[in-house]
Structure 1
Amino acid sequence: MVDESWSPPEVLVTVDLVILTLREASLHVLLVERGVEPYLGERALPGGFLNNAGEGIAEAAARELREEADLDGAQLHLEQLGTYGKPARDPRGRVISVAYLAIAPGLPEPVAGTDAAGAGWEPVEDVLAGRLGLAFDHRQIVADGVERARGKLEHTALATAFCGATFTIAELQQVYEAVWGVELDPRNFYRKVQKVPGFIESAGDERKATKGRPARLFRAGATTVLHPPLVRPDPATEEERQ
């Protein structure tokens, strides 16, 4: 029997952005200071509600990238991360968030969006360790975004999205170390990277160094899936080796 008195609950949809970049060889995430309730004055991921019924989820994510970070989604790595919909996650009511992961190298200082009092890059480690509290369930979303990035570095060429158009092997290694949170042996890393066909290719140039020999420059190759993969080392094992 159909309960004719039943009506679907009102559900609001937002998009939240986990925007990652490297700053001073450390993984950072873009956070805003909320300028409105709820959680006025607290840190949160940039994002917002869909503008209208005609706006798609991906379109909303691209719009929020422009408004919150002045970034063009077509110029950086952007992928859907997951959907978050626990009933009590937002005090305003039943709000479902579709989170996106965005990655780009060398991003500038951000400018706060329309509903934010401020914006800035914060070390991911401070968020994951709980030293920096976030509104809503945004700490979990950041953790999921970082874990997605860590896993994809093993099997895909995602690491090059953290680099500029050309880069050195040392700069690529910095990406892996920052995202994975471990130190890697340079010779071993170089050997593994060179074993992956199409991962990187020579840019035909060198970068002068203050000491030692000039460093060769590379660019991202055509391969998107790494075979063999660059397996993430266990941090405890790496500490024992050092």
Structure 2
Amino acid sequence: MAASPRDGIPLAVSTVIFALRSDAESGLGALWIPLVRRITEPFGGRWALPGGWVRAEEGLADAASRNLLETTALEPTYLEQLYAFGNVDRSPSGRVVSIVYWALVRADQAERATEGENVRWFPADDLPELAFDHNVIIDYALWRLRTKLEYSRIAQAFLGETFTLTDLREVHEAVLRRPLDPANFRRQVASTLVPTGAVVSGGRHRPPKLYRYNQTIEVVDNGPISREKTGSNRAIS
């Protein structure tokens, strides 16, 4: 982070970025997040969430997007405010309030992310001890993602506009960390999906159908302030 603002309580933004990547051992999808290594005190050398100070001329979501681009080169299509963390003792160098966002990116987007000595991807459920209260923040973001997956179209952020039922089920399995019965899953999501009329070509067997989410079903929980008014990236309800 740059130097702290001179007056008042410093205001920062941090972002938890989730991507689905294949687990090396099982070959199954799993949640991963990018972390950055701190090069200054406090907590020099420890891994932390990407973030930084909010500039006077920018909104919170704009600050989160800018910091993500500068530190990881990621531009997520799903960016949502998670929570404000402001415990008095969360930073040993003085009080800092962090507005935390969470973001979702597709696997192909994650592959384009900056990686190096000070930026690295980690399994979201198997993290080292992080700087500040960032382990607590990530635990909260995981809970939020897993809860919202049950009632929203948020899985689309990992998949794109169209997908097969198998694709969708594998996203749910990776996020929830448990296998799901294909037949039961099909029944549970049937009312939220619309067949596109297209199929996946090139396979040896019967080509699977492609679906999209039914946009006429309203499942928004972002409150009365629209995503357009905040200036942030488009959220997927």
Cross-structure match for 1:163: 159
Cross-structure match for 1:138: 134
Cross-structure match for 2:121: 121
Call closer, same or farther: CA 1:215–1:184 in 2, change over 3 Å.
same
Contact 1:35–1:41 (CA under 8 A) maintained in structure 2? yes
User: Does residue 1:34 correspond to 2:23, yes or no?
Assistant: no
User: Whole-Å Cα distance in 2 between the matches of residues 147 and 27 of structure 1?
Assistant: 13
Tell me the CA shift for residue 79 of structure 1. 0.7
Q: Give, as a single letter, the amino acid of the residue that structure 2 aligns with 1:161.
A: A
Pick aligned residue for 1:221 from 184, 209, 214: 214
User: Whole-Å Cα distance in 2 between the matches of residues 188 and 100 of structure 1?
Assistant: 33
Superposed, 1:3-152 pairs within 5 Å as: 10-24=8-22, 25-51=29-55, 53-73=56-76, 76-106=77-107, 107-111=110-114, 117-127=117-127, 132-152=128-148
What's the TM-score once normalised by structure 2's chain length?
Answer: 0.80
User: Does residue 1:173 correspond to 2:169, yes or no?
Assistant: yes
Call closer, same or farther: CA 1:67–1:224 in 2, change over 3 Å.
farther
Call closer, same or farther: CA 1:224–1:147 in 2, change over 3 Å.
farther
Cross-structure match for 1:235: none
Larger relative contact order, structure 1 or 2 (CA cutoff 8 Å, min sep 6): 2
User: Whole-Å Cα distance in 2 between the matches of residues 220 and 120 of structure 1?
Assistant: 33
Task: Name which of structure 1's ranges 210-219 and 85-94 shifts more when overlaid on structure 2.
Answer: 210-219
Call closer, same or farther: CA 1:224–1:38 in 2, change over 3 Å.
farther
Contact 2:74–2:113 (CA under 8 A) maintained in structure 1? no
Tell me the CA shift for residue 201 of structure 1. 2.0
Pick aligned residue for 2:194 from 198, 201, 207: 201
Call closer, same or farther: CA 1:187–1:125 in 2, change over 3 Å.
same
Deviations for 1:176-211, whole angstroms, at most 9, x for unmatched residues? 1111111100111011111x2xx2222322224655
User: Whole-Å Cα distance in 1 between the matches of residues 30 and 92 of structure 2?
Assistant: 33
Deviations for 1:113-154, whole angstroms, at most 9, x for unmatched residues? xxx952122111103xxxx21111001111111111111111
Identity within the alignment, %: 39
Call closer, same or farther: CA 1:12–1:117 in 2, change over 3 Å.
farther
Tell me the CA shift for residue 50 of structure 1. 1.3
Contact 2:173–2:179 (CA under 8 A) maintained in structure 1? yes
Cross-structure match for 1:4: none
Number of residue pairs matched? 205
What's the TM-score once normalised by structure 1's chain length?
Answer: 0.78
User: Whole-Å Cα distance in 2 between the matches of residues 34 and 213 of structure 1?
Assistant: 51
Pick aligned residue for 1:189 from 185, 190, 193: 185
The RMSD of aligned alpha carbons is 2.0
Contact 1:110–1:119 (CA under 8 A) maintained in structure 2? no
Cross-structure match for 1:229: none
Contact 1:15–1:97 (CA under 8 A) maintained in structure 2? yes
Contact 2:193–2:212 (CA under 8 A) maintained in structure 1? yes
User: Whole-Å Cα distance in 1 between the matches of residues 174 and 42 of structure 2?
Assistant: 33
Contact 1:81–1:101 (CA under 8 A) maintained in structure 2? yes
User: Whole-Å Cα distance in 2 between the matches of residues 120 and 203 of structure 1?
Assistant: 37
Q: Give, as a single letter, the amino acid of the residue that structure 2 aligns with 1:126.
A: D
Which segments of 5 or more consecutive residues in structure 2 lack a partner in the other structure?
Answer: 1-6, 23-28, 221-237
